[in-house]
């Protein structure tokens, strides 16, 4: 059993659901026993202890079954899509992936880009540390995109000097039948410090789903939890809220026009430690049309 599933046993939501479901089982057997006692008043006392113990065991089993943590996923019929949330490695997922970047699309590690971040992993794991190849792919995809500003010689900014509007989304294809959607959701200053806001993330996600819809061919898309790392958004958009943000934006975009068949939200182990998976499952279920 995965750590992310067993961790749910320690949550208040699990125990509240377990107690509620167990008591509903006890209530069912109480009604059954009352009915049997009224119909067969002499038969019940002789099997009372055995029947009571059996009813309690069955009720506990029923409560455990109904509240047992399961993989977090939800299917929707209108449109026909699926959302999954799980712990894993973004770059090991099948299909297309989303990589968050800054508005300068810098690639140099470790002094400009955090070598532990998703953007750095795109360089090391997909492009095998070939910075030139990644930069060429990004520059080609950025052709025609509007610049927001350029850093001048007086700024002294190391790395790339051209910045694009936050929310810019470009697509690169490092492998056959695999696209990488690069979305700029944070701003890089002249000191190479990345900053972002909730509005920036929401705008970026809105543009992202438009790009996925146009170029993704309906294939599943995997995205990491947004907001950690150098973007410094996690203080006001923690992992739990970041996932809700991603889900809501995807649902709203899909109701407008289908984006892709399945969205995978892939959380790293440090993020999973702070997630309430049962609450996220309840959130997904609440978004089903009534």
- pLDDT band at residue 126 using 50, 70 and 90 as cut-offs: very high
Parallel, antiparallel, or unpaired for β 262-267 and 81-87? parallel
Tell me: pLDDT of 3 over 50. no
Residue 146 to residues 163, 206, 207, Cα–Cα distance (Å)? 9, 18, 14
Instruction: Tell me, yes or no, whether 122 and 144 share the same domain.
Output: yes
Instruction: Tell me, yes or no, whether 80 and 63 share the same domain.
Output: no
Instruction: Tell me, yes or no, whether 33 and 162 share the same domain.
Output: no
Least Cα distance to 102 among 25, 29, 157, 175 occurs for 157
- pLDDT band at residue 1 using 50, 70 and 90 as cut-offs: very low
φ and ψ at 96, to 5 degrees?
-85, 155
pLDDT value at position 190? 95
> Mean pLDDT, to the nearest integer, of 61-89?
82
Which of residues 17, 50, 67 is at a domain's end?
Answer: 67
- pLDDT higher at 175 or 8: 175
pLDDT value at position 27? 76
Instruction: Tell me, yes or no, whether 181 and 259 share the same domain.
Output: yes
Instruction: Tell me, yes or no, whether 115 and 84 share the same domain.
Output: yes
pLDDT value at position 131? 95
pLDDT value at position 59? 74
Q: Where are the extended beta strands (E) located within 19-70?
A: none
Cis upstream peptide for 288 (omega within 30°): no
pLDDT above 70: percentage of residues in the chain = 82
> Mean pLDDT, to the nearest integer, of 266-286?
87
Provide the domain limits for residue 214. Answer: 72-286
Which of residues 67, 83, 117 is at a domain's end?
Answer: 67
Residue 152 to residues 57, 104, 106, Cα–Cα distance (Å)? 74, 14, 16
Instruction: Tell me, yes or no, whether 108 and 177 share the same domain.
Output: yes
In this structure, what DSSP letter does residue 8 have? Answer: G
């Amino acid at each position: 059993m995965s750590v992310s599933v067993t961790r749910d046993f320690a949550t208040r939501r699990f125990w509240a659901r377990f107690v509620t479901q167990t008591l509903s089982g006890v209530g069912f057997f109480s009604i059954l026993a009352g009915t049997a006692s009224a119909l067969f008043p002499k038969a019940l006392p002789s099997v009372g202890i055995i029947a009571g113990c059996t009813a309690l065991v069955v009720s506990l089993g029923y409560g455990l079954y109904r509240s047992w943590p399961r993989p977090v996923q939800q299917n929707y019929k209108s449109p026909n899509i699926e959302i999954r949330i799980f712990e894993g490695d973004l770059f090991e997922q099948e299909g297309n992936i989303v990589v968050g970047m800054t508005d300068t699309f810098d690639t140099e590690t470790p002094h400009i880009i955090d070598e532990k971040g998703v953007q750095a992993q795109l360089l090391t794991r997909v492009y095998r540390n070939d910075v030139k190849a990644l930069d060429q792919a990004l520059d080609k995809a950025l052709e025609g995109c509007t610049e927001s500003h350029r850093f001048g010689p007086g700024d002294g900014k190391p790395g790339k000097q051209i910045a694009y509007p936050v929310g810019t989304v470009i697509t690169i294809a490092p492998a056959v039948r695999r696209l990488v959607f690069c979305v700029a959701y944070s701003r890089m200053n002249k000191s190479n410090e990345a900053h972002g806001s909730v509005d920036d993330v929401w705008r970026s996600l809105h543009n992202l789903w438009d790009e996925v819809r146009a170029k993704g061919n309906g294939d599943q898309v995997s995205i990491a939890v947004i907001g950690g790392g150098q973007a410094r958004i996690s203080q006001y958009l923690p992992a739990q809220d970041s996932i809700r943000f991603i889900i809501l934006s995807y649902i709203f975009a899909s109701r407008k026009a289908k984006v892709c068949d399945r969205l995978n939200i892939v959380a790293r182990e440090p993020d999973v430690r702070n997630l309430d998976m049962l609450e996220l499952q309840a959130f997904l279920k609440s978004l089903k049309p009534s």
